[in-house]
Amino acid sequence: MSDGRNDGGAPIPHGTDGGAATAPVSHRVPDLGALELLLAVARLGSLGRAARELGITQPAASSRIQAMERQLGIALVDRSPRGSRVTEAGALVTDWARRVVEAAESFDAGVHALRDRRDSRLRVAASMTIAEYLLPGWLIALRTLRPDTAVSLLAGNTAAVAGRLLGDEADIGFVEGLDVPGGLDGVVIGHDRLAVVTAPTHPWARRRAAISPAELAATPLILRERGSGTRQVLDAALAGHGGLAAPLLELASTTAVKAAAVSGAGPAVLSRLAVREELSARRLVEVAVADVTLRRDLRAVWPAGHRPTGPARDLLGLTRPGGEHR
């Protein structure tokens, strides 16, 4: 202020360079509601009419104008029985206030546009099994809820899904495995069981007794790559039985692993979701394994501290919490 005092009457502190210390903008500039009230008084010529237009009482409007005058250190409005008019200084402040209010309206419109654009798209990252066998049904249901939302799907292994989310390349992810990848939060939406499968011509297909975990661990298998939820669960299950032998084949997609097993190349380990049709048609045979658990959780995941909103939240609600996918 020109008298070197702030709105509370205390001297304004000065920096070591002799200039006034920089105060937060919110301490120097009236709030938007007060500026809108001043504009209404200038336009309507009446504090009472301005108050009614803004949906507040006349005493509240008068109090707000007075508080703004104290804050700025200048008289803004002359009050008389004939009405209210802005002072000469008030006219200048009104002109500046108009620019601030217009800028705020532009800001608000821009934010709404961004939110609308965000809510019209959904980026989903999912591990291969969920992407191929569960997501299609969820996305069909989401289209009924949000017909104008464009969905993009990025499929990869669990590690790739985590990387997409942490790199802000996806809004929500779905993974299989033993735990939530680092840097993410998540919720279990179901469970899945892995199956050891082979072509009907393989010797294991004719065995009546279950194979042992040690035999499974020692046999070269057709496997998904490291970083996949399938491989993570299998590694953990067989860690106490000598660990996995070097893979017969290591492939980056569920479809490729399944095709290799159907061709008779060797045994494979896949989600039962992925081989349901092949087991039913006897193109593959499930092999029993004794004393080992090949069950895993299916999870929806997102960056830690940022729970899904908008279409991502709706998609999460369409999954089957606690469901068993067999």
CA distance 313 to 316: 5
pLDDT at 140: 93
* Second CATH level (architecture) for the domain 121-324: 3-Layer(aba) Sandwich (3.40)
| pLDDT interval class at 103 (50, 70, 90) | confident
Per-residue pLDDT tens for 74-92? 999 988 877 888 898 888 9
Tens-place pLDDT, residues 155-187: 998 999 999 999 999 999 999 988 899 999 999
The answer to whether residue 27 scores a pLDDT higher than 60 is: yes
3-state secondary structure of 139: helix
Calpha distance 307→309 (Å, rounded): 7
**Any idea where the domains of the chain sit in the sequence?**
25-115, 121-324
List the CATH code of the domain at 25-115.
Answer: 1.10.10.10
Eight-state DSSP code of residue 174: E
pTM: predicted TM-score of the whole model, two decimal places = 0.61
The DSSP bridge partners found for residue 126 are: 155, 174
Dihedral angle, C-alpha 200, 202, 206, 210, nearest 10 °: -110
Answer for the pair 98, 148: CB distance below 8 angstroms, yes or no: no
| Residue 196's pLDDT band (cuts 50, 70, 90) | very high
Is there a contact between 308 and 301 (Cβ–Cβ < 8 Å)? no
